[in-house]
Amino acid sequence: MIAPTYPKPRRRLVGASLLYSVSLFASLGVFLFGYDQGVMSGIITGPHFIRYFNAPGPIEVGTMVAVLEIGAFITSIAAGRVGDTIGRRGTLFIGGVVFTLGGAIQTFTGGYAMMVVGRVVSGFGVGLLSTIVPIYQSEISPPNHRGALACAEFTGNIFGYAFSVWIDYFCSFLDSNLAWRLPLLLQCIIGGVLAAGSLVMPESPRWLIDTDKDDEGLRVLADLHGGDIDNPVANAEFREIKEKVLFERQSGEGRSYAMLWRKYKRRVLLAMSSQAFAQLNGINVISYYAPRVFEQAGWIGRDAILMTGVNAIIYVLSTLPPWYLVDRWGRRPILLSGAGVMTLALCATGYWMYLDVPWTPNAVVVSVIVYNAAFGYSWGPIPWLYPPEIMPLTVRAKGVSLSTCTNWAFNYIVGAGTPWLQDVIQWRLYFMHAFFCICSGILVYFLYPETKGVPLEEMDTVFGEDSAKSFQERSTSSEYASFISTSREGANSYPPKPRERPDGPGEVSWLGRVFRYGATASSSYHPIENEELAPLNSDDHDGRQESGHRGMRSEDYTKNITSIVAFRTLLVSPV
């Protein structure tokens, strides 16, 4: 008699594998943004494109390129409310679908007006993606690796840009309208992959806990800690997030944009300024119009696109050092050093164009490459990392939406104005953006606090808010007291025990079993079991800032959490 055989259970992604896999896939959202930035820079100089659109002038070209930012501006404002309502994962799905639709309209356009409409529709998708991806990334990342993961995400953005530039270069050899239609078609395929994949990605555990889906939120945290629902660090992390949510609710101030501006004005202004200066520092003069810049310097036709491709490769490589440096040096040193190098590179670019000597083309290429590398290392990734870091959970989506819409507003101003300024003020344009680089460095030096290694739930202390007073208010809150008393009733009563995953066939799809509740870490989570664990509470906050990764070992961590819960229980217990 032959023994029956059973299908092998599929392996679930947990721990570090889950975190990195989901982070990589979410980065497709910013890859699309980068691809869309670069793809237009190459096709607008192609002869078939120019002939098809009847030799558009600088204003028409600027509008066609920059109108995407109008759509992105609109949906980046709406993304705050959408992200809070349907979740981070649902917003990713909608953004991917809308971007794909816009790409299809551009690919099969019949004229200038239809191309502009397609760019606006794609902008709607980009606005949603560019707002929600940084939020999602920050909410699934441990504090001591949060900067590195955000910088890796930005590398995906620049890889998308570089990929599109080389696609433009190779398609420029096609002697038909496919030379510009094919690059536009590829963005539809990538957008479709993102939309489909978002359906099986896990939801942010912070959003789940904030919307009272506690069992699902704890399940995600447990999976990020290796899959054990009884993991003490996952349970302690759950309690910290839930405490913060309850305290914010107890304040009774709501979650409106008016409350955000009134209570967190400094944070909002810093987040918005970081995105504004990322554009005013001149990156889109290069990203959108690099071939035109090189043509002005003396590189003609396909050679200008080739130089853009070489520049793009170095641009990608420049985004790699922050993976290591951002959680060791911190945010401020990187921004300050980047602003200084960009100032010098932009001044050199303008100076060589002013001289207009035989070696100007080569000198301009070198200057532009240095500028792009400095931006890719500093003002490229940090403005996408900083806003979701400094915003509290209850208004994070709305705060980041304001910073992102600022990015798109200034993106449009720079993108639409550059072709005209290149013709009118010519080499002086680069000195203008060098001045903005100087201003951004001054702003960072005097106003930007350092956030390296700080858990998201402890960011209040960075901005000098009265944590002792907040703790007293929280300890006397009736809702918080109920939460603590519930947690005393038994080791397994709170946090809640999630429902067991069904093992029978047909109850959960295979994709659901592979990616079930996938990926989010709170600020104090470390995905590697043997790594030292950072404490959740602020007692060791200064030490964590100095070391960037030191913390207590697991057994000490558990004792500390137990003593903290016991102490808080005494505060809310009747005498």
What ranges in 281-395 are assigned the alpha helix state H?
283-287, 290-297, 302-318, 321-325, 331-355, 360-377, 382-390
* Tokens 């301009």, located at residue: 364
475 pLDDT above the threshold of 50: no
Cα of 28 vs its chain's centroid, Å: 11
Closest to 557 measured CA to CA, from 532, 523, 522: 532
Whether residue 149 contacts residue 95, with contact meaning beta carbons closer than 8 Å, is answered with: no
pLDDT in tens, 156-196: 888 988 898 889 888 888 889 999 999 999 989 888 888 88
374 pLDDT above the threshold of 90: yes
pLDDT in tens, 209-232: 888 888 888 888 888 777 778 888
Q: Is 466 left (phi over 0), alpha (psi -120 to 50) or beta?
A: beta
339 pLDDT above the threshold of 90: yes
Query: pLDDT-derived band of residue 342, with 50, 70 and 90 as boundaries?
Result: very high
pLDDT in tens, 405-453: 898 889 888 877 777 887 788 888 999 999 999 999 999 999 999 988 8
Query: pLDDT-derived band of residue 6, with 50, 70 and 90 as boundaries?
Result: very low
Give the mean pLDDT of 284-307.
Answer: 72
pLDDT value at residue 467? 47
Cross-strand bridge partners of residue 552: 533
Neighbouring CB atoms inside 10 A of 274's CB total 26
Distance of alpha carbon 226 from alpha carbon 411, whole angstroms? 41
pLDDT value at residue 57? 83
241 token code pair: 């997030």
User: What is the number of residues in the chain?
Assistant: 575
Q: Residues of 298-319 as b/e, b for ≥16 C-beta within 10 angstroms?
A: bbeebebbbbbbebbeebbebb
**This prediction's pTM:** 0.68
pLDDT in tens, 109-128: 989 999 999 999 999 998 89
